[in-house]
Amino acid sequence: MNVRIGGKLFVMSCMCVVLIVALLITGFGPPTPDESEQPLRADGPPEELLKVTLSLDWVPNTNHTGVYVALDKGWYEDEGLDLEIQIPSDPAAALKQVAFGHTEFGVSFQEEVSIARSQGIPVVSIAAIIQHNTSAFSSLKGSGISGPKDFEGTKYASYGLPLEWAVLEGLMACDDADVNEVEFVDVGFDAFPALIGGKVDFAWIFLAWDGVQAEIMGKPLDNILLADSCVPDYYTPVFISGEKTIEERPEIVRKFVAATSRGYEYTIEHPDEAAEILIKYSPETNPELIRRSQEWLSPRYQDDAERWGEQSLEVWQEFGDWLAERDLLPGPDFQADDAFTNEFLPEKPVASPTAEN
C-alpha cells in the first residue's frame, strides 16, 4: 500500500500497524502536537454542532468506510456532532490522544487496548469494527505451505515484535511444530512486498487489504486464517474512547456510536456505493483495491453478531489470558470487563436508510 504522510511516501502492509503498536505503547507518554496530522471535515457545519475528533490508526482504508459513509451523508450532523478526522503519522497516536483526552475517539486494536489497560491507561473499546480476526499467515500459492507444520524450515517476514513470536509459537504448537525451526527475517514495513517478491516464504497480513491486493497483482495466496486457528479470536480493529469522556460526556459517546453504527449498517448493505464514498475521501489509494476490498469486507463487519459493533466478554477474557500467559501484558491491571463496553451500541440493528438518503 502506498501512502503519503507529512509529505513522505511510504510503502507498507496493513499488518505492520497492528504489530508495531505493542512496541510503541510501552513508551507511552503525553502526545505532542504533530503538524503532519491531517484533519478531514464536513464542509461548513452549523455553529450549534458540537465538535468531536476521531483519530484514525492509519490512512483511510476499508476498515474505516462506515465512518466516511456517515460523514458523507451527514449522519454525524444529524446527531448534533461536527466530526473531525485526524490521520496521525504515528500508529500509536490514537490511543495516546484518547487516553489523555485530546481526542474523544480513536481507532485501536484489542491487543493494544489490553496492553494499555494492563498498565492502567484509561481507554475503553466502545465497538468492534470487524467481528472476527481477518488476518492470516499467507504464502504464495503452490509454495507447499498448507498448515502450521509446514512453517518449519521456512523464512518468515517479521516485523520484529514479541507478539509475532508468541502467536506463531502458539499456532505451531497446536500442529506439533516448533517455532524455533522458522527463520525470522526482519523486514520492517515491507512484509507484503517481501512475500510477493519471494524474499520470504510467508507473512502475517490482513486479507481484506493485502490479500485483495495480491489478487489484483495476479499473485494468489494460500492462507492460514488466525480466526480458524487455536490462537484465541480477538477484535481488530476497534473504536475506543477514554474513561473520562465516557463518565463525563456519555451522551457524546452515544451520539458518535449511533451515527457510526448507521454508517457501517449502510456499508454492509451497500458495499458498492460505500466504496465510491471512501474513494472520494482517499483519492491516492488504488480505486480497484478499495472496491474489491469493500466487497470482501462488508459481509464481515457484523458477521454472526446480533448487531454491528457487538463485543463479547469471552473474547476479551480469553485473549487477555492468552497474552498474560505469554508475558505480553507489561502490567498487572488488566481486567477484561473494564476494557470494553456495549453500552453505547443501538439496542437493535440500525434500520438502513434507502440509497436516496
Report which of residues 159 and 251 the model is more confident about. Answer: 251
Q: Are 341 and 127 in contact (CB under 8 A)?
A: no
Phi, psi of 287 (to 5 degrees): -60, -35
Q: How confident is the model at residue 335 (pLDDT cuts 50, 70, 90)?
A: very high
Residue 329 has pLDDT above 80, yes or no: yes
List CB contacts of 172: < 8 A, sequence separation 6 or more.
148, 149, 151, 152, 178, 179, 182
Cell of 74: 451527514
Residue type, 134: T
Q: Tell me: the pLDDT tens digits for 51-91? A: 999 999 988 999 999 999 999 999 999 999 999 999 987 76
Q: Tell me: the pLDDT tens digits for 189-232? A: 789 999 999 999 999 999 999 999 999 999 999 999 998 899 99
pLDDT of res. 349: 53
Q: Tell me: the pLDDT tens digits for 109-134? A: 999 999 999 999 999 999 999 999 99
- Mean pLDDT for the stretch of residues 346-353: 62
What percent of the chain stands above pLDDT 90?
Answer: 78
Q: How confident is the model at residue 303 (pLDDT cuts 50, 70, 90)?
A: very high
Structural domains in the chain, CATH included, are 31-132+234-338 (3.40.190.10), 135-228 (3.40.190.10)
Lowest-confidence range among 32-46, 170-184, 196-210, 263-277? 32-46
Cell of 307: 448487531
* pTM reported for the whole predicted model: 0.85
Q: Tell me: the pLDDT tens digits for 246-270? A: 999 999 999 999 999 999 999 999 9
- Mean pLDDT for the stretch of residues 259-288: 97
Q: Assign 3-state DSSP to the chain and report helix, strand, coil percentages, each to 5.
A: 40, 20, 40
Q: What is the distance between the alpha carbons of residues 74 and 289, in angstroms, rounded to a whole number?
A: 26
pLDDT of res. 269: 98
Report which of residues 349 and 283 the model is more confident about. Answer: 283
Task: Give the torsion through C-alpha atoms of 232, 13, 149, 230, to 10 deg.
Answer: 10
